[in-house]
């Protein structure tokens, strides 16, 4: 499982990463982006125009299938019920965010352990930092977009301040890294 989390300034990078995944890329990818509930409600449709993979916005207990890209819906936290399905949660915001990247990273680590890669991109909020540490403590792999390159460096920087990352990479390196996982 690959989870990509991001906030302000991360959308272009998500486009780039998904756009460069080959059609037969079969590891499921989950995208957790902070969104204004009144803002782009059609993020999944937008992402679908950038990639050959199937893109779905998650509904409660959505089954997890190979070769699909899943998008967290606005105003819910996305959790993993088990290795084969998601579960949504409408509880308090975490780090002023719902969806919160920390929440999804942690839940992913509980369910997938060392079969999880979490990638944290640009943003103006510290969400994701705590989650990445938790992922590492559960033997998952953490990747942080290089603050030098990220459009808004705060989020990746906070992650590096609060813990270590397995990899700090430019976006082309993140792409190579993802392709090697397959």
Partner 1 sequence: MDKPSDIQITEEDLTLLINDIHLTHGYDFSDYSRASFRRRIERLITIDQLSSFAELRYRVRTDPAYFAHVVEEISVTVTEMLRDPAFYKIVRNNIIPVLATYPFIKVWHAGCATGEEVYSMAILLKEAGLLHKSLLYATDMNPAALAKARKGIFPLSQMQQYSRNYMLAGGTQDFSSYYTANYHFASFDSRLSEKIIFAQHNLVTDFSFNSFQLIFCRNVLIYFNKDLQNRVLKLFDDSLEFNGFLALGTKENIRFSSIAPNYKQIIGREKIWRKIK
Binding to partner 1 in span 16-45, by CB under 8 A: none
Q: Catalytic site residue 77?
A: no
107 to 136: interface string for partner 1, x by CB under 8 A: x--xx------------------x---x--
Q: Is 34 a catalytic residue?
A: yes
| Cis preceding linkage at 83, omega within 30 | no
Q: 20-26: long-range contacts at Cβ-Cβ below 8 A with a sequence spacing of 24 or more?
A: 20/175, 20/179, 21/51, 21/52, 21/53, 21/178, 21/179, 22/52, 22/179, 22/182, 23/52, 23/53, 24/67, 25/53, 25/67, 25/179, 25/182, 26/66, 26/67, 26/182
- Asked whether the beta carbons of 33 and 6 are under 8 A apart, the reply is yes
Q: Does 46 bind partner 1 (CB under 8 A)?
A: no
Active site residue 85: no
Among 60, 149, 151, 173, binds partner 1 (CB under 8 A): 60
State the nearest-atom distance from the C-beta of 134 to partner 1, in Å: 8
| Nearest distance in Å: CB 31, partner 1 | 16
Binding site for partner 1 (CB under 8 A): 58-61, 73, 76-77, 79-82, 85, 87-92, 94, 103, 106-107, 110-111, 130, 134
């Amino acid at each position: 499982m690959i989870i990509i989390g991001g906030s302000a300034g991360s959308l272009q990078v998500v486009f780039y990463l998904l756009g460069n995944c080959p059609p037969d890329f079969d590891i499921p990818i989950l995208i957790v982006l902070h969104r204004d509930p009144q803002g782009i409600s059609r993020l999944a449709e937008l992402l679908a125009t950038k990639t050959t993979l199937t893109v779905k916005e998650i509904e409660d207990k959505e089954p997890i299938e190979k070769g699909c890209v899943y998008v967290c819906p606005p105003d819910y936290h996305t959790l993993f019920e088990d290795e084969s399905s998601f579960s949504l949660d409408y509880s308090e915001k975490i780090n002023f965010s719902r969806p919160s990247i920390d929440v999804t990273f942690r839940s992913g680590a509980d369910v997938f352990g060392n079969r999880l890669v979490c990638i944290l991109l640009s943003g103006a909020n510290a969400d994701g930092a705590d989650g990445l540490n938790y992922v590492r403590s559960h033997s998952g792999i953490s990747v942080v977009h290089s603050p030098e390159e990220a459009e808004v460096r705060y989020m990746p920087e906070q992650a590096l301040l609060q813990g270590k990352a397995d990899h700090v990479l430019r976006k082309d390196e993140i792409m190579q890294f993802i392709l090697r996982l397959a």
